[in-house]
Amino acid sequence: MSEEKPTQTSELGNNSEILEDTTNPADPSSVTSAHESVGESSSEQEQAQIRVDDSDDLAQRDEHQPQEEPKPPESWFITGANGNLGQRLIRHLLAEGASVTAVVRSGRAEESLARALNFNKQLRIEVIDYAETMLLAQAAYGAQYAVHLVGILKATKSSTYAKAHEASCTALIRALKDTSVEHITYLSILGAKPSSGNACLASKGKAERILHRSPITACTLRVPMVIGERDYASKMLAQRANLKSSVTFRASSLEQPIYAGDVVDAICAAARQSLDGGLNLAGPESLTREDLYKRAAAVLGRSTSVRSVPVFVGYAIAWLLELFSAEPPITRAMLGVLDHDDQIDVAKAQQMLGLHELTDLDTMLRKTIR
């Protein structure tokens, strides 16, 4: 507005100078012509002023237009949050500005998680037993997405597969049915199905079925070995890679490890896209367990040899341990999960989740193996 007026004044001034320099008083036509020029300039000024007034009116109307309010931050509700993957997911969400409610089962886990995440103000940690559905419902108040990371690989007398998997999913559904939660993402194991002969895989499959029969949209991500920084798998691989020689059950067993960061991305994508059903997800490469140990050693600039022991020997040892030990270090069900051959096509899951590229094996080993 302030720029148009001076421009018109400048043009008028120049016309006045031309009038004074070129008008011949003896020639009336020249005088008339000059006055017409001045009249045209005045008309242009008036039109410009109208345009300015119109723009002022538009600006005033825009000021009264309702402005679109910024979206509130995402709110997540995460159970089983104190594991390595749970901590990684929470860090990722907090970095994106989300608010997170994390549920753990003990005061020790609460303290450990708070310390690991630097007591972030966007994080609320609740100590709740998964059977306490009313407390779970209260903790989930206002949450948009739920992630259920509760699960065990080795069952004990006090912590059975049914309690850890099926009972926890049943409690979660009861707790969330009347809350704001729109979607549940559940992390399961590749090969899980209710009819499996393996107790752990069968229990996981039944837990999936419980979630998918609920009124809340749920997506199950079935994954194999997950490798992340400072987790159990990376520490085990580093230990194996640093040995000149090691022994394993059925070295020809197929592994298809996936990077923990890719699993976190998949969890977020499944929730935000409100995916329903189960997806099998793994890393981009399947190889034998022996080759995996050798690749890990190569990343460290070392070499290792692997000797294979028939898997039935492992089952026999596990059976004896279960028979004579209250807390056996390995069980037959646990061994069966670890011995499962993982070799799947991940293209469908990648497409549905919008994961353009999965971390290749050598890159994930370089990131995690020390």
The CATH number of the domain holding residue 213 is: 3.40.50.720
119 band by pLDDT with thresholds 50, 70 and 90: confident
Q: Are residues 133 and 24 in the same domain?
A: no
Mean pLDDT of 279-294: 97
Tokens of 199: 């107790």
Q: Are residues 84 and 35 in the same domain?
A: no
The C-alpha atoms of residue 281 and residue 191 are separated, in whole angstroms, by 11
184 band by pLDDT with thresholds 50, 70 and 90: very high
Q: Is residue 66 part of a domain?
A: no
Q: Are 218 and 187 in contact (CB under 8 A)?
A: no
6 band by pLDDT with thresholds 50, 70 and 90: very low
Q: Are residues 28 and 110 in the same domain?
A: no
Q: Which structural domain, as residue segments, surrounds residue 25? A: 4-59
Q: Are residues 21 and 111 in the same domain?
A: no
Q: Are residues 212 and 345 in the same domain?
A: yes
Q: Are residues 53 and 98 in the same domain?
A: no
Q: What is the pLDDT of residue 240?
A: 95
Q: Are residues 158 and 298 in the same domain?
A: yes
Q: What is the pLDDT of residue 62?
A: 53
Mean pLDDT of 73-78: 95
Number of domains in the chain: 2
Q: What is the pLDDT of residue 69?
A: 67
Q: What is the pLDDT of residue 318?
A: 95
Tokens of 307: 């000797």
Tokens of 205: 């499959």
Least confident of 32-46, 77-91, 134-148, 232-246: 32-46
Tokens of 360: 């290749």
Q: Is residue 68 part of a domain?
A: no
45 band by pLDDT with thresholds 50, 70 and 90: low
72 band by pLDDT with thresholds 50, 70 and 90: confident
Q: Are residues 135 and 159 in the same domain?
A: yes
Is residue 191 predicted with pLDDT exceeding 90? Answer: yes
54 band by pLDDT with thresholds 50, 70 and 90: low
> Which residue in this structure is represented by tokens 């059903």?
277
Q: Is residue 65 part of a domain?
A: no
Phi first, then psi: what are they for 309, rounded to 5°? -115, 135
Residue 101, C-beta contacts closer than 8 angstroms, at least 6 positions apart: 75, 76, 77, 78, 123, 124, 125, 126, 139, 140, 143
Q: Are residues 40 and 92 in the same domain?
A: no
Q: What is the pLDDT of residue 49?
A: 52
Q: What is the pLDDT of residue 73?
A: 86
Q: What is the pLDDT of residue 68?
A: 62
> Which residue in this structure is represented by tokens 């929470």?
90
Q: Are 240 and 296 in contact (CB under 8 A)?
A: yes
Q: Is residue 141 part of a domain?
A: yes
Q: In this prediction, what percent of the chain has a pLDDT beyond 70?
A: 81
Q: Following DSSP, what letter does each residue of 72-132 receive, concatenated?
A: PPPEEEEESTTSHHHHHHHHHHHHTT-EEEEEESSHHHHHHHHHHTTT-TTEEEEE--TT-
CB atoms within 10 A of CB 216: 17
Tokens of 18: 């031309």
DSSP code, position 157: S
Is residue 79 predicted with pLDDT exceeding 60? Answer: yes
Nearest 10 degrees: Cα torsion 88, 81, 279, 131: 180
What pTM does this model have? 0.80
Residue-wise pLDDT for 27-40, tens only, equals: 444 334 333 443 44
Q: What is the pLDDT of residue 50?
A: 47
Is residue 322 predicted with pLDDT exceeding 90? Answer: yes
Q: Is the dihedral of CA 318, 322, 325, 327 positive or negative?
A: positive
Q: Are residues 48 and 189 in the same domain?
A: no
The C-alpha atoms of residue 175 and residue 136 are separated, in whole angstroms, by 6
Q: Are residues 173 and 230 in the same domain?
A: yes
Q: Are residues 53 and 195 in the same domain?
A: no
The C-alpha atoms of residue 163 and residue 166 are separated, in whole angstroms, by 6
Q: What is the pLDDT of residue 279?
A: 97
Residue 302, C-beta contacts closer than 8 angstroms, at least 6 positions apart: 241, 242
Three-point CA angle 81, 283, 276, nearest 5°? 60
Q: Is the dihedral of CA 80, 84, 87, 88 positive or negative?
A: negative
Query: Sheet containing 99-104: which strands, arranged edge to edge?
Result: 123-127, 99-104, 75-79, 145-148, 183-189, 217-223, 277-280
The C-alpha atoms of residue 112 and residue 100 are separated, in whole angstroms, by 16
